[in-house]
Amino acid sequence: MATLVFLTVWSFVPPGAFAFQIPERLEYSIRWQFIKAGNSVLEIAKGEEGTLKIVSRAWSAKVLSVFYRVEDRIEVLAEESTFLPSVYHLKLREGRHRKERLVSYDREAGKIVLNNIHKNEIKEFDAEGEIYDPITAFFLIRTVEMEVGKSLFIRVFDNGKLYDVEVQVLKKQKIRVPAGTFDTIKVKPLLKSEGIFMRKGDVYIWLTDDERKIPVKIKSKVKVGAVNVVLTGGVY
């Protein structure tokens, strides 16, 4: 059984220190089986008064859009020094599937407010301590020293629930993607997140085996087959 390493923000994120550069823009091609299914962009930039703005977008290729149109967007505002989120806004359109959620984090009050916009439903949750969303948790993990055979845990609020999300560090591997050839660390996050063509199974992420930990490949199972997201370029 893998060794479990329980992480807190204080243990691995010095205030204002990031191994990857900010701003950063990562561009990806999305392939379903052997078909070019779409594109994705992940961006992080500094906002106002010590904040970060993170935007994740995915959209289907023109040919696929005729049958199954995808327009996914997640926008997050977070503290620059800790990655702790203040606002998480998700909008999904995948075929006939639609969702829009606005999540507000009030750490002083120990509350999270979830506004399920399509259902016109607002819920409030008690949430003490350092809690992340799936996007800020991912950037936080990029700051951690990883060791094969060990797992990382972080508290995440997702889909109206709190989880201790496990990230399994599987192995080191050299892989080639359109952006180049990279020495990587392969990890498996056990997430409940939605998006990227209605993921239904395991997700694997290949991060560069250096301080930046750039995600160069993501593989996930969907209803039919698998989706591969590979780095094509950007500013990083």
What is the CATH architecture assignment of 3-235? Beta Barrel (2.40)
State yes or no: pLDDT of 170 exceeds 50.
yes
Domain boundaries, given as residue ranges, for the chain: 3-235
**Which residue, among 36, 33, 114, 41, has the nearest Cα to 71 in the 3D structure?**
41
Output 170 or 5, whichever has higher pLDDT.
170
Token pair, residue 161, equals 């629930």
* Cβ atoms of residues 68 and 49 within 8 Å: no
The pLDDT-based confidence of 224 (bands split at 50, 70, 90) is: confident
**What pLDDT does residue 2 have?**
30
Phi, psi for 9 (deg, rounded to 5): -60, -35
| Percentage of residues in the chain having pLDDT higher than 70 | 89
Q: What is the pLDDT of residues 112-125, one digit of tens each?
A: 999 999 899 999 99
125 CA to centre of own chain: 22
Tell whether the model's pLDDT for residue 15 goes beyond 80.
no
- The answer to which of 21-30, 59-68, 98-107, 215-224 has the lowest mean pLDDT is 215-224
Residue 108 has pLDDT above 60, yes or no: yes
Q: 107 with 113: CB under 8 angstroms?
A: no
Q: Which residues pair with 115 in a beta bridge?
A: 102, 122
Q: What is the pTM of this model?
A: 0.87
Look at the block and give the residue holding tokens 């607002």. Answer: 122
CA–CA distance, 236 with 219 (Å, rounded to integer): 21
Grouping H, G, I as helix, E, B as strand and the rest as coil, residue 232 is strand
Over residues 125-148, the pLDDT tens digits come to 999 999 999 999 999 999 989 999
Nearest to 36 by CA among 79, 70, 72, 78: 70
d(CA 123, CA 42): 28
53, 22 Cβ separation under 8 angstroms: no
Question: Which residues does 54 contact at the CB level (< 8 Å), separation at least 6?
Answer: 42, 43, 44, 74, 75, 76, 78, 135, 136, 139
